[in-house]
Structure 1
């Protein structure tokens, strides 16, 4: 009965995980592309990530207040429409061809996606029994992995043309000269975002005509019995440590993701087409990790798996730091597999027992994604200033995984204090 009652709502929510994965996992491709179209180095282009993830720091609390005042559904529909508008703005941006215009667009898209993520994660944990919340959220995040794979393996190939010229190396007979080359590279960015905008609008229409069940804390709000945002929830140590763990995990993951194509093309020397194929395998490993991890949680405690996976990734990052090159590249594929369960597992463990403060807790956990706006830049800076030993930059995500390991070891525990 429970399964029949929640099947359609969960399916709709799962589609949101798919959509925001496409959006966020196009960023590594866009970093590589903007290095060409705007003539940037890796450090400068890494601010693409900063512009996107900064929205996740600014807006979760206002979004949580909005959804507590109204509903998850209204927040989701508004977020879908806002993100779609951002995707359509790539057409005027292609005429402007300025880096700042793209940063503004990424910020707008991310704001819309922030609505979806602030709503979807706690909603999935609430639609069912608390005992299976981690497994349910990992299942939902498997659709996130599918979106990431499609973005990396297929949409990235629509953006990256395989041509990589500078003003000095551009053939003298290239049609339209340098301006023609830049226009061609710029135009290649429009189609994937048009597809994304179309999907967002379609899902928004479906949500308008769908019925989503209210969960307990939403019903309480209808009676006016709850604050719009409760900062006191951070006194709960398992949530506080969850926010810290999410900050470092998100930053470490995004540092590896965002620089993957730069690593492949600039340091390993792979052509763009081959690099995007490896990026597809990287995200396929992530997707496989999500599915396998979800199944393993039937037998193993989520916190135990979190600890083991974090330790494995510390060792794998050590391999990248010591070896670099193709060995480091293959190690990254393994890192992707073991990163797969970390975000949803930490998220669900941190929300346990929050009751009517679940939306507040979710807002603070989503805000922790601000790690994506600073740790990748630090990693890119170290890589850009140590080109002969570029691989030492991966000591930064290595350190980040220590916080995930701690959360799986002790940080997740709920302290019963009044």
Structure 2
């Protein structure tokens, strides 16, 4: 069912449902941080191989983002949301057989299917939040919606800590002393721990798909693009030739890489920096980082009423370069706290880069959104790179990877801010001419 575009009550339920998607993909993303630790234990993985959890996940974004945009061109935003939720639910269901056969490759396939669903959700939800409101406040509105993403992330870590991580961490010597049957029992219990949480998640996500399908949405969410509109191949050719837009795509690639590197390896960093500290204790630091990330989103949304989003992002990126340097040079409890603090300053980056990049794209917004979602593959590439550097050196030395990523974000923010400042007189002149 659809409704004509409107405000107030007409938009309340659609906004609630679409905002809930930010919660759901935050939950899935940060369950991965727990899975990385769990699979490293169950399958005795190196840091590089453990990083494949994130690589398989974010590869789904890369491969499905353009198909998601083309799907929305044909069927509209809401159809993209429903299809994405169905894929998400299917991937969660695949965790049951994956745990039964206890094959790492099957788990990676399940994660890929989940991420494919999330590619549809993010490609549709981000521009839909922007479309359902005043373009002048798009950055603030998207930052507010994204503020619910950390709530999902916190929930994911809590679920993982309580229902997946057992706290049973036998040393290599203790494993060697176990009989074959004891070893099999240990690995089976640790592998099956993921089944319950993911079955519940599948049920919630599939119910969400039904609610979105039945709810009334404004026409902007349900109408397909007109011929030659957003999502056509000509749009992609135009966007790829647009240097300012592609700079945003590049910044998103490196930002997501930094975010994934920090969260995926935070427990691993704590194990090196604070020897003897258990996985459940270190999961509390991940939880704390998500809390400050959530607070950072709300603070950034408030600050954007007073300062330019691009300027604020540049300041935050510079601060995070310093915090990564502290964690790199002083691997200790202080270094771990620096990584936690960096999450406060990461909080505004994804939605701000997204909103700045799609501003003014008009009918090319769906296509532009898909390329920005494809840039999430930075999480796959750079987390694997950090794992490789860690295997060659140490996990704290590998923090040079997110440090370099924040440098790229800072450069983009400075460029975007200069462009906005230069454009202000033009915008003000056009506004005066319109009023006359």
TM-score normalised per structure 1? 0.94
Q: 1:296 aligns with which of 291, 294, 303?
A: 303
> Deviations for 1:3-50, whole angstroms, at most 9, x for unmatched residues?
443222111111100001111111111111001111112211101110
Quick one: which of 354, 359, 362 aligns to 2:361?
Answer: 354
The answer to whether 1:315 aligns with 2:318 is: no
- Give the C-alpha shift of residue 395 in structure 1: 1.3
Q: How far is 1:154 from its partner?
A: 3.7
Please list the CA deviations of residues 111-142 of structure 1 after superposition, one character each: whole Å capped at 9, or x if unmatched: 01111011001111111111110001111111
For 1:248, the equivalent position in structure 2 comes to 254
Aligned length in residues = 412
Where in structure 1 are there 5+ consecutive unaligned residues?
Answer: none
Aligned counterpart, 1:43: 48
Q: 1:228 aligns with which of 224, 231, 234?
A: 231
Q: Tell me which of 343, 347, 351 is aligned to 1:336.
A: 343
Q: Give the RMSD, CA atoms, in angstroms.
A: 2.0
Give how far 1:219 is off. 5.1
Q: In the alignment, which residue of structure 1 is the partner of 2:124?
A: 119
Q: CA deviation at 1:228?
A: 3.4
Deviation digits for residues 265-290 of structure 1 (CA, Å, limit 9, x no counterpart): 34422111211111111111111111
Task: Find the partner of 1:60 among 54, 65, 83.
Answer: 65
- Whether 1:258 aligns to 2:261 is no
Q: Deviations along 1:352-397, whole A, 9 cap, x unmatched? A: 000000000000100111111111111111122213xx31211111
What corresponds to 1:371 in structure 2?
378
- Alpha-carbon distance between aligned partners in 2 of 1:346 and 1:362, rounded to the nearest angstrom: 11
Distance in 1 of aligned mates of 2:156 and 2:134: 32
Inter-partner Cα distance in structure 2 for 1:86 and 1:220 = 27
Which structure 2 residue ranges, 5 or more long, are not aligned? 1-5, 424-436
Aligned: 1:156 with 2:161: yes
Match of 2:416 among 384, 407, 411: 411
Cα distance in 2 for residues equivalent to 1:286 and 1:246: 17
1:237 paired to 2:258: no
State the partner residue of 1:201: 206
Q: 2: distance between equivalents of 1:173 and 1:400?
A: 43
Give the equivalent residue in structure 1 for 2:431: none
Deviations 1:212-248 (A, max 9, x none): 21329x7582x43426321112333331111010011
Distance 1:343 1:237 in 2: 19
Structure 1 equivalent of residue 35 of structure 2: 30
Q: Is the 8 A contact 2:324 2:342 kept in 1?
A: yes
> In the aligned structure 2, how far is the partner of 1:285 from the partner of 1:220?
39
Tell me the TM-score normalized by structure 2.
Answer: 0.90
Change (3 A) 1:172 1:314: closer
